[in-house]
Structure 1
């Protein structure tokens, strides 16, 4: 148990530090946003570029990881669609709840956890998580939100194309495509370049946790408690359970050779709390209160669920 706390305690200590610094006024919310922009636009892209450019693409894009994570995420969207519909939520609240239940914070929280639990594969796991989430899961959730926006003056098709274009312009996606091109073409990159990107990437873990902790200090905590509770349940329990079942199905049938470390990384990745920009997307649709409640609740409760999963799986 002490070995497990050795993984989760530093993570939550850094989160608590970020919260404390904002609460005491050492950092302002604008400072936290600037640090978050650095992680999202510089550190994480540097990490993805380094991971891809220095490895064979076959080594990185492992079907044993991508397929269970992708299928588990899609099934989670379907299951949560039914659950939120049965609870009587309108289409927009349902879409906000599905996004919170499906899109984990693997960039800011998941990567530091993997770095401590599985340092050898942490970069690969982060890259594969962001590929599946950024290219498929998040766009689907955004499309559900756009489809629920009946009052928009713009055609739905135009809004969906804009979502896909914005995804492709993200720094993480540009780093992914650049790193992949270098790996496929076997382009020689000078060693000082990799040392620079390694140095930038090394800052991602600690800074990202301080950012998440600091951002929690300024969240508005008034909203639909029922929506927030169900989204928290979906993110911390339903999503990892579905991914675990999918991985077990592939392993039992022999379709994929899933190692114990990959299985654990899959389930832990799905068990992370909501991604950092969840409240921003929800705010644009008028539901930032429920999203904030869900994010805070999931981040706090994840301390216990992650400890439990690490105890069961490792």
Structure 2
């Protein structure tokens, strides 16, 4: 367990430093928003370009990984959505947000920095696969269900078409496409260009963690306690278990990727979760859930990695 804490504690120390820096106004929170934009628009796309461009496509696309991560995420989303809608009696927008909070990870800002410490370069492949599921499957699903609840006159197909159109402008998706084109074409990037990509990619992990910490300042732990507890517990416990079961049951693939798939599922929900909440009128619940999940994820991620290493169910950690 000490070895696991040696890996995970620096990650959350950087989050704590980001929180302290913004809390003490050493770094204004508006600056951290700019740093977050840098990560989303430059560092993470470059990370994905670097991960994909240096490998043959057969090394990158792992259908079983996509099926396990995507299947686990969809199952948990369906549980959260239907429970909130049918059992808890919530509206469609609220139910959609609960399903989203339970099933969509902060793979870029928390999952990757943790995984990179454990798995090295393999973490970049795992990140690319997670991003494919999150941006091409989960995000359109959430937008269709959430936006169609607003009664703005658009059909679900119109909402879906608009969602995919917006995804085409997403820098992360553009980064994936550029990386895939380079991989398929066999082009070798000129060294000066590769160096720029590499330097920007290397900045993604620590800057993202600092931004996560700064973003927690000012969030209030308010809202319905039962809803918050359900969202956080499902995200940090149910989602990793669902992905683990599918990884275990589906035909074997690279053991390191199997562990990485579960590790990414242990991450808290995406950092823009409160923005979705604001979009649908439930920002208080989403902000409180994000703060609680991010705080508790240190315990759940460390415990999950320790269990995977101790049991060696997929083999020892690298």
Interval containing the TM-score (normalised by the shorter chain): over 0.9
What is the alpha-carbon distance in structure 2 between the residues aligned to residue 276 and residue 231 of structure 1? 14
Identify the residue that residue 107 of structure 1 maps to in structure 2: 108
Identify the residue that residue 232 of structure 1 maps to in structure 2: 232
The 8 Å contact of residues 93 and 227 in structure 1, kept in 2 or not, is answered as no
Identify the residue that residue 117 of structure 2 maps to in structure 1: 116
Gaps of 5+ in 1: 251-255
Identify the residue that residue 291 of structure 2 maps to in structure 1: 296
Identify the residue that residue 316 of structure 2 maps to in structure 1: none
What is the alpha-carbon distance in structure 1 between the residues aligned to residue 24 and residue 188 of structure 2? 48
Q: Give, in angstroms, the shift of residue 155 of structure 1.
A: 4.4
Aligned residue pairs: how many? Answer: 308
The 8 Å contact of residues 108 and 212 in structure 1, kept in 2 or not, is answered as yes
The 8 Å contact of residues 148 and 155 in structure 2, kept in 1 or not, is answered as no
TM-score (norm 2): 0.93
Q: Does 1:277 align with 2:278?
A: no
Identify the residue that residue 56 of structure 1 maps to in structure 2: 56
Gaps of 5+ in 2: 310-318
Greater mean alpha carbon deviation, residues 303-312 or residues 158-167: 158-167
Q: Give, in angstroms, the shift of residue 275 of structure 1.
A: 0.5
The 5 Å alignment of 1:147-186 reads 147-150=148-151, 152-186=152-186
Q: What's the CA shift string for 1:250-283, capped at 9, x where partnerless?
A: 1xxxxx2234322221111111101111111111
Identify the residue that residue 99 of structure 2 maps to in structure 1: 98
Identify the residue that residue 301 of structure 2 maps to in structure 1: 306
What is the alpha-carbon distance in structure 1 between the residues aligned to residue 188 and residue 261 of structure 2? 32
What is the alpha-carbon distance in structure 2 between the residues aligned to residue 280 and residue 27 of structure 1? 22
Q: Give, in angstroms, the shift of residue 249 of structure 1.
A: 1.4
The root-mean-square deviation of aligned C-alpha atoms, in Å, is 1.4
The 8 Å contact of residues 40 and 172 in structure 1, kept in 2 or not, is answered as yes
What is the alpha-carbon distance in structure 2 between the residues aligned to residue 197 and residue 55 of structure 1? 15
Identify the residue that residue 81 of structure 2 maps to in structure 1: 81
What is the alpha-carbon distance in structure 1 between the residues aligned to residue 161 and residue 172 of structure 2? 19
3-state DSSP of counterpart to 1:79:
helix
What is the alpha-carbon distance in structure 2 between the residues aligned to residue 224 and residue 162 of structure 1? 32
Q: Give, in angstroms, the shift of residue 154 of structure 1.
A: 4.2
The 8 Å contact of residues 143 and 159 in structure 2, kept in 1 or not, is answered as no
What is the alpha-carbon distance in structure 2 between the residues aligned to residue 302 and residue 59 of structure 1? 30
